[in-house]
Amino acid sequence: MPQSARVYVIDDDSAMRDSLDFLLGSAGFSVRLFDSAQIFLDELESLEAGCVVTDIRMPGIDGMELLRQLNSGTRKLPVIVMTGHGDVPLAVEAMKLGALDFLEKPFNDERLIGMIETALSQNESGSKTEALSADMAARVASLTPRERQVMQGLVTGQSNKAIARDYDISPRTVEVYRANVMTKMQANNLSELVRFAIRARIIGD
């Protein structure tokens, strides 16, 4: 793990902070804990480059406002947001504001570590990002019109039943389309699908 592997954890839940401190420290990251976004922002200019892992729902400045303030400032740090069940539409909004990815609690430890490693390496090559965008566009082009409609529903937080009602098809049929979408988009989970959709400009501002 390089010395630059710094992670800034922001969460008002002390148990979650302690858990992430142990997990990420054991994985070789240099971890700093903050119990509020305001404290993090107050120290931002003195912090070294790294990755931010933040809860999305916090008192005072929440994860969304944190992203807005980071976007308006000069420090551009990759951000991963943590969200509770049912907050997928909110997490999508966070990704529109520039979050790299989101995790639904409870999450898989290895997945978080993998996300952080990706975040810390993403600044190494801007051209790589452009190539990935072209790849995402090609994946979207492989979808049928109905698969694209189902994907649109999924990435905006709709349930299978809601998507089925919208297009007058059965929930079981939606499940088939959903499986096809995940395969063609090469997405392992919903948060990956959302990130891919944003990169391919399926989800606009």
- Which letter does DSSP use for residue 83 in this model? E
Class of domain 126-199: mainly alpha
Q: What class has domain 6-124?
A: alpha beta
What pLDDT score does 180 carry? Answer: 95
**What pLDDT was estimated at residue 137?**
80
Instruction: Please say if the pLDDT value at position 126 is more than 50.
Output: no
Q: Give the tokens for residue 77.
A: 């740090």
Q: What is the pLDDT of residue 105?
A: 81
pLDDT for 61 equals 92
| Predicted TM-score (pTM) of this structure | 0.71
Structure tokens belonging to residue 205: 């501002």
Domain ranges of the chain: 6-124, 126-199
How far lies 18's CA from each of 9, 15, 55, 96, in Å? 10, 5, 14, 29
At residue 146, the pLDDT reads: 95
**Strand boundaries in 72-153, DSSP class E:** 79-83, 101-104
Q: For residues 200 and 133, is the Cβ–Cβ distance under 8 A?
A: yes
Q: pLDDT for 25-57, tens place per residue?
A: 999 999 999 999 999 999 998 888 899 999 998
Write the pLDDT tens digit of every residue in 60-85. 999 899 999 988 877 778 899 988 76
Angle between helices 160-167 and 171-185 (to 10 degrees): 110
Residue 4 pLDDT > 70, yes or no?
no
Q: What percent of the chain has pLDDT over 90?
A: 46
Terminal alpha carbon distance of the chain: 36
- The more confident residue out of 107 and 12 is 12
Q: What pLDDT band is residue 130 in, cutting at 50, 70 and 90?
A: low
Residue range 144-164: mean pLDDT, rounded: 91
